[in-house]
Amino acid sequence: MSLAEESTAGPAQRSAMPPVELSGVAGSYRLPVYFACGALALVVNYLLGKEMAWDTLGYHVYAGFSALHDRFAQDYFPAGIQSYFNPYAYVPFYALATSGLSALQASSLLALLHAVILCLTFELALVAFPSGTRRQRLGMAVCAVAMAGVNPILLQQLGTSFTDITTGELVLAGWLLLAGTVRAPGAVRVLLAAALLGTATALKPTNAMHSVAAAVMLVMLPQPATRRIKYLSTYAGALGVSFAIVAAPWSYRLARAFGNPVFPLLNNVFRSPEFVTEPLRHLRFIPSSLVEALWRPFAMMDPAPMIHEEIIAPDHRYALLLVLAGVLLVQRLRRRSRPVDTAAAPDSPVDARVLTALGCAFAADWIAWLSLSGNSRYFLPIACVASVLLVGVLFLVLDARAKARSYLLAAIFATQLVQLCVGADLRWKSVAWNGRPWFDVQVPEKLAHERALYLSLGAQGFIAPYLAPDAGLINFAGDYPLGLSGANGTKVAAEIRKYAPHLRVLMRSAHPYGGEGHTSSVSTVNDSAVNDAMRRFGLRAETGDCATITVYGLPPDTEVRIASASPAADNDGASASDSGTADRSYLVSCQLIPDPTDHSSELTGQREAEIVLDRLEEACPQLFQPRGPPLDDRGGMWRRYYLNSDLFAWVNHDEVKFLDPMHDDNVMRLGRKSDWLRAPLKVTCGRRGAHYFAKVLGPAPAN
User: Tens digits of per-residue pLDDT, 318-375?
Assistant: 999 999 999 999 988 888 765 544 444 456 789 999 999 999 999 999 999 999 999 9
Position 600 scores a pLDDT of 72
Mean pLDDT over 223-233 rounds to 94
Position 2 scores a pLDDT of 38
Other beta carbons less than 10 A from residue 191's beta carbon: 18
**Ramachandran angles phi, psi of 628, nearest 5°:** 75, 35
Position 596 scores a pLDDT of 85
Please return the burial class of 628, using the count of CB atoms within 10 Å of its CB with bins 0-12, 13-18 and 19+: middle
Please, are residues 71 and 465 in contact by the beta-carbon 8 Å criterion?
no
DSSP state of 509: E
- pLDDT surpassing 80 at residue 581: no
pLDDT one-digit tens code per residue, 46-105? 999 999 999 999 999 999 999 999 999 999 999 999 999 999 999 999 999 999 999 999
Position 157 scores a pLDDT of 96
**Ramachandran angles phi, psi of 512, nearest 5°:** -65, 145
Peptide bond before residue 264 is cis, with ω within 30 degrees of 0: yes
What is the chain's mean pLDDT, rounded? 87
* DSSP tally for the chain: helices H, then strands E: 26, 16
Q: How far is 229 from 214, CA to CA, in rounded Å? A: 14
Mean pLDDT over 512-522 rounds to 54
- Using pLDDT thresholds of 50, 70 and 90, give the confidence band for residue 471: very high
Q: How far is 594 from 550, CA to CA, in rounded Å? A: 27
pLDDT one-digit tens code per residue, 425-448? 998 888 899 899 999 999 999 999
pLDDT one-digit tens code per residue, 608-617? 999 999 999 9
Helix/strand/coil (H/E/C) assignment for every residue in 435-496: CCCCCEEECCHHHHHCCCEEEECCCCHHHHHHCCCCCEEEECCCCCCCCCCHHHHHHHHHHH
Position 701 scores a pLDDT of 57
Show me where the domains of the chain are located: 3-423, 440-594, 602-696
Q: How far is 321 from 202, CA to CA, in rounded Å? A: 31
- Using pLDDT thresholds of 50, 70 and 90, give the confidence band for residue 578: very low
Please return the burial class of 667, using the count of CB atoms within 10 Å of its CB with bins 0-12, 13-18 and 19+: middle
Position 9 scores a pLDDT of 43
Please, are residues 60 and 162 in contact by the beta-carbon 8 Å criterion?
yes
Position 448 scores a pLDDT of 94
Peptide bond before residue 261 is cis, with ω within 30 degrees of 0: no
Position 635 scores a pLDDT of 74
Mean pLDDT over 465-487 rounds to 92
Q: How far is 634 from 632, CA to CA, in rounded Å? A: 6
Max Cα-Cα span within the chain: 88
DSSP state of 688: E
Please, are residues 655 and 505 in contact by the beta-carbon 8 Å criterion?
no
Mean pLDDT over 627-651 rounds to 91
Position 665 scores a pLDDT of 81
The SS3 call for residue 538 is coil
Q: At 419, which amino acid appears?
A: Q
pTM: 0.90
- Using pLDDT thresholds of 50, 70 and 90, give the confidence band for residue 700: low
Angle between helices 187-203 and 208-219 (to 10 degrees): 160
- pLDDT surpassing 80 at residue 574: no
Closest to 358 (Cα-Cα) out of 213, 194, 147, 239 = 213
- Using pLDDT thresholds of 50, 70 and 90, give the confidence band for residue 289: very high
Q: How far is 143 from 349, CA to CA, in rounded Å? A: 14
**Ramachandran angles phi, psi of 590, nearest 5°:** -120, 150
DSSP state of 680: P
DSSP state of 3: G
- pLDDT surpassing 90 at residue 21: no
- Using pLDDT thresholds of 50, 70 and 90, give the confidence band for residue 259: very high
Residue 123 vs residues 22, 138, 177: alpha-carbon distances, Å: 11, 11, 10
pLDDT one-digit tens code per residue, 525-548? 555 678 888 888 999 998 889 999
Angle between helices 103-114 and 164-183 (to 10 degrees): 20
Centroid of chain to Cα 444: 34
DSSP state of 76: B
Q: Which residue has the higher pLDDT, 569 or 382?
A: 382
Mean pLDDT over 472-492 rounds to 91
Closest to 20 (Cα-Cα) out of 37, 4, 36 = 4
What is the CB-side half-sphere exposure of residue 356 using CA atoms within 13 A? Answer: 16
| β strands within 221-263, DSSP E | none
Q: How far is 578 from 571, CA to CA, in rounded Å? A: 13
pLDDT one-digit tens code per residue, 121-175? 999 999 999 987 888 899 999 999 999 999 999 999 999 999 999 999 999 999 9
* Percent of the chain topping pLDDT 70: 88
**Ramachandran angles phi, psi of 79, nearest 5°:** -125, 35
Position 515 scores a pLDDT of 54
Q: Could you tell me whether strands 655-659 and 647-652 are parallel, antiparallel, or unpaired per DSSP bridges?
A: antiparallel
Residue 159 vs residues 33, 312, 412: alpha-carbon distances, Å: 19, 19, 26
Residue 576 vs residues 66, 218, 514: alpha-carbon distances, Å: 29, 52, 21
Q: Which residue has the higher pLDDT, 461 or 19?
A: 461
- pLDDT surpassing 60 at residue 25: no
Q: At 586, which amino acid appears?
A: Y
Q: How far is 36 from 202, CA to CA, in rounded Å? A: 31
Q: Could you tell me whether strands 472-475 and 453-456 are parallel, antiparallel, or unpaired per DSSP bridges?
A: parallel
pLDDT one-digit tens code per residue, 592-608? 999 888 777 777 888 99
Position 597 scores a pLDDT of 81
Residue 618 vs residues 159, 268, 644, 649, 655: alpha-carbon distances, Å: 45, 18, 16, 13, 18
